[in-house]
Structure 1
Amino acid sequence: MRRVRYASTGGPLFLEEALVPEPGAGEVLVRCEAVGVTLPVVRKVTEAAEPVPLGGEVAGEVVAFGAGVTGHAVGDRVTGLCFGHGYADFAVLRGDMASPVPDGVGAVDAVALVRSGVVALGALSAARPRPGEAALVTAAASGVGHLAVRLARARGASRVVGAVSDAAKADFVRSLGADEVVVYGDDDWGEPVDYVLDGVGGDLLTPAVGILAPGGRLVAYSSGGGTVRAYDLLVGARTVTGFQTARVAREMPQVYESWRRELWRLYATEGLRPVVHGPFALEDAAKAHEVVTSRGNLGKVVLVP
């Protein structure tokens, strides 16, 4: 099979031939039909001390499974997280983390909706939105952010503001249902909002907290770091909540599963659709990474082996 690898930190991505992996106990082997590209995986290429497997979100057909696997059969179509080599023709997933893809749903939609959608829906739930409130979503054109814009509207937001890195993304974000679009460097982000879903972090935390109305809530789900001044929270009784999907999946699997079911319900009955940037062929993984690194993507970046 083919897989994408790199040989040194920051080194170029390249395609190589490798043996098809064997699923171990509790694992399923999937023929990959679509692979989601995420910012954390892109960052590992330049930040990890040594090369690591390029894993992430995978959707495809189960072709084999190891001992102890229940609920899956050869021929089932699933999506889930791969902690090994995911940029490949075949990938191994933990059976308990592989969820079924409904009939009639393409792999690209599945991989773009389920993981990014779970992050967006989970962050939104952590914000405790109430109908009629105003929302602001940073990284509003990203794989998670563009779904967060749509979900905030679906949860009853009366006004949705999208924050982006480049004004050229404004029309795209408005097409998602945003009422207003602001650019990170703008001095004025407009009227206050009741909650912020932040997928950027860093220096953006200061204006993101500053736009909150009294009693406003910011949910931080980015790995970008950053610092919030306690005084900025004290003024107006604002709050910041950190959100991590891995913790929910590990400690509250029933909640995690309910979010997945809700996403598929919205897909089937409310027309919720992810926007895909690309897709890119497996051999063009470096181009896909460059799109994410340069913040050039509109929607979810996906590889199709």
Structure 2
Amino acid sequence: MRRVRYEATGGPLFLEEVPVPQPGPGELLVRCEAIGVTLPVVRKVTEATGPVPLGGEIAGEVVAVGTGVTRFGIGDRVTGLCFGHGYADYAPLHEAMASRVPDDASAVDAVALVRSGMVALGALMAARPVPGEAAMVTAAASGVGHLAVQLARARGATRVVGAVSDPAKAGFVRSLGVDAVIVYGDDDWGEPVDYALDAVGGGLLTRTVAALTPGGRLVAYSSGGGTIQAYDLLGGAKSVIGFQMGRIARDEPEVYERWRRELWRMFAAGTLRPAVHEVFALEDAAKAHGAIESRGNLGKVLLRP
């Protein structure tokens, strides 16, 4: 089978031929039909101290199961987060990370919706939203962000602000139903918001905290780091909440499953619309990474073997 890997940090991605893996205990072997490309994985290639497996979101058909698997069988269509080599024709997926893909949904739908939607919904729930509040979502055109703005509205936000890196993204974000779009470099960010979901980090954190009302909450779920000064929080009694999906999947599986069901329910009802920026061939993984690195994507970037 074909698999994408790289040999050195920041080095080129290339295809290699390797044997089809065998599922280990508790694992499914999935023939990949769609693979999600995310900023954390792109950063692994450019920033990690050495080569690591290119894992991530996958969706496809189960072709083999390991010992101890009880919830899935050969022929089932599943999606989930692969921690091994996911940029491949076939990939291992632990049963605990897998969920069924409905018959009326495609593999592309599943990858665009489930993992990014789980992060978006989890970050939103960490903010403890109250109907009638105002919300801000940074990286609002991203694979997670474009779902987060829709979820914030569905959870009762009466004003939703989408923050983006480029004015060219404004039209796309407005099509999602936001009330206002701001660009990171704008001098005026408008009226303050009750909570903000931040996927950017770095120097943007200070400005996002400043955009909060007194008592406002910032949920940080970025892999981009950043520093917040305590005095920026104290005066307005603001708070910062860290969110990581891995902890929920590991420690609160019943919550993880409930959120998955909620995403599919909203998708079926038409209240949550995942957008796909572009689908690249597996051999074009470098181009897919480039779309993420340039921050030019509008919605989800995917690979299709």
In the TM superposition, what whole-angstrom CA distance separates every residue of 1:142-161 from its partner, at most 9, and x where no partner exists?
00000001101111111110
Q: How far apart are residue 8 of structure 1 and its match?
A: 1.1
SS of equivalent residue, structure 2 residue 297: coil
Q: Which amino acid aligns with 1:193?
A: V
Match of 1:233 in 2: 233
Match of 2:141 in 1: 141
Q: Pairwise mapping of residues 40-51 of structure 1 onto structure 2 (< 5 A)?
A: 40-51=40-51
Q: How far apart are residue 67 of structure 1 and its match?
A: 0.6
Match of 1:268 in 2: 268
Where structure 2 has 5 or more consecutive residues not aligned to the other structure, the ranges are none
Q: Which amino acid aligns with 1:135?
A: A
In the TM superposition, what whole-angstrom CA distance separates every residue of 1:227-249 from its partner, at most 9, and x where no partner exists?
11111111111111000110111
Match of 1:120 in 2: 120
Match of 2:155 in 1: 155
The CA distance in 2 between the partners of 1:148 and 1:272, in whole Å, is 10
Provide the TM-score with structure 1 as the length reference: 0.99
Q: Which amino acid aligns with 1:185?
A: G
Q: Which 4+ stretches in 1 moved above 3 angstroms?
A: none
The CA distance in 2 between the partners of 1:25 and 1:197, in whole Å, is 37
Q: Which amino acid aligns with 1:221?
A: Y
- 8 A contact 1:109–1:273 mirrored in 2: no
Q: How far apart are residue 271 of structure 1 and its match?
A: 3.4
Match of 1:39 in 2: 39
Q: How far apart are residue 256 of structure 1 and its match?
A: 1.0
Q: How far apart are residue 204 of structure 1 and its match?
A: 0.3
SS of equivalent residue, structure 1 residue 202: coil
> How large is the Cα RMSD of the aligned pairs?
0.8
Check if 1:254 corresponds to 2:264: no
Q: How far apart are residue 166 of structure 1 and its match?
A: 0.4
The CA distance in 2 between the partners of 1:253 and 1:266, in whole Å, is 20
Match of 1:179 in 2: 179
Match of 1:169 in 2: 169
The CA distance in 1 between the partners of 2:96 and 2:140, in whole Å, is 31
- 8 A contact 1:29–1:65 mirrored in 2: yes
Q: How far apart are residue 48 of structure 1 and its match?
A: 1.3
Aligned residues: 305
In the TM superposition, what whole-angstrom CA distance separates every residue of 1:86-130 from its partner, at most 9, and x where no partner exists?
001000011121111111100001011100000000000011111
In the TM superposition, what whole-angstrom CA distance separates every residue of 1:156-175 from its partner, at most 9, and x where no partner exists?
11111000000100000000
Q: How far apart are residue 203 of structure 1 and its match?
A: 0.3
Q: Which amino acid aligns with 1:240?
A: V
Match of 1:70 in 2: 70
Match of 1:223 in 2: 223
Q: Which amino acid aligns with 2:179?
A: D
Give identity over the alignment, percent: 76
Q: Which moved more, 1:43-52 or 1:190-199?
A: 43-52
The CA distance in 2 between the partners of 1:165 and 1:99, in whole Å, is 33
Where structure 1 has 5 or more consecutive residues not aligned to the other structure, the ranges are none
Q: How far apart are residue 191 of structure 1 and its match?
A: 0.3
Check if 1:294 corresponds to 2:294: yes
The CA distance in 2 between the partners of 1:56 and 1:104, in whole Å, is 23
Match of 1:12 in 2: 12
The CA distance in 2 between the partners of 1:139 and 1:61, in whole Å, is 32
Q: How far apart are residue 18 of structure 1 and its match?
A: 1.1
Check if 1:79 corresponds to 2:79: yes
The CA distance in 2 between the partners of 1:50 and 1:237, in whole Å, is 42
Q: Which amino acid aligns with 1:39?
A: L
Match of 1:111 in 2: 111
- 8 A contact 1:139–1:200 mirrored in 2: yes
Q: Which amino acid aligns with 1:252?
A: E
In the TM superposition, what whole-angstrom CA distance separates every residue of 1:255-304 from its partner, at most 9, and x where no partner exists?
11111111011011243121011111111100000010010100011111
The CA distance in 2 between the partners of 1:52 and 1:298, in whole Å, is 27
Q: Which amino acid aligns with 1:299?
A: G
